Amino acid sequence: MKTESPEQTAATMPTPTSVSSFVHPTNILVPLDFSEISLKALQYAVPFARQYGAKLTLVHVVDLPLYVESPIPTRFGPEEIAEIKKRVADTCAPRIPEELTVETVIRQGGVFETILEVARETSANLIITTTHGRTGLSHLVLGSTAEDLVRRADCPVLVIHEREREFV
């Protein structure tokens, strides 16, 4: 049996700063794709934000197509971004109390990579996302953004399953 010295144990323990930033999140990132299941993540994020006085960062990623006819992918202009921000606001406003601070980020790119990029840029210290819980062939074909986030995010990730029993 291998034992660790006190120095090794202390080095692997979370620092008080990292523990307090999770216990008291200041910026909660919520990826949204306008599906009912993604709105379930918002249902969890609002009470966390209210309890800790945290900002909500809502991120919507327009996925790049797998096949593009032109060699240069089409980028969204200011009008398209404004339209998507309005859709986010219209969809989320009834679910978010006015006293909460909300930032909306619209990006185009690979979903998983872009969510991580926005999390780093905004210093998110908690990500709340949802999963369909696919297995087998559908998991292989569609992948799992939630699983990728859990594996690679620099902060804690709370994953809400589509069929979870609600506790908020």
Cβ pair 120, 149 in contact under 8 A: no
pLDDT at 141: 35
Q: What is the CATH number of domain 23-161?
A: 3.40.50.620
pLDDT at 7: 52
Q: What is the pLDDT along the chain (168 residues), one digit of tens a residue?
A: 444 444 544 555 555 555 555 568 999 999 998 888 889 999 999 999 999 999 999 999 987 665 555 555 556 678 888 899 999 999 999 999 999 999 999 998 888 899 999 999 999 999 999 886 544 443 333 347 888 888 888 999 998 876 666 555
Tell me the CB-side half-sphere exposure of residue 67, using CA atoms within 13 A. 1
78 Cβ neighbours under 8 A, 6+ residues apart: none
DSSP state of 11: H
139 Cβ neighbours under 8 A, 6+ residues apart: none
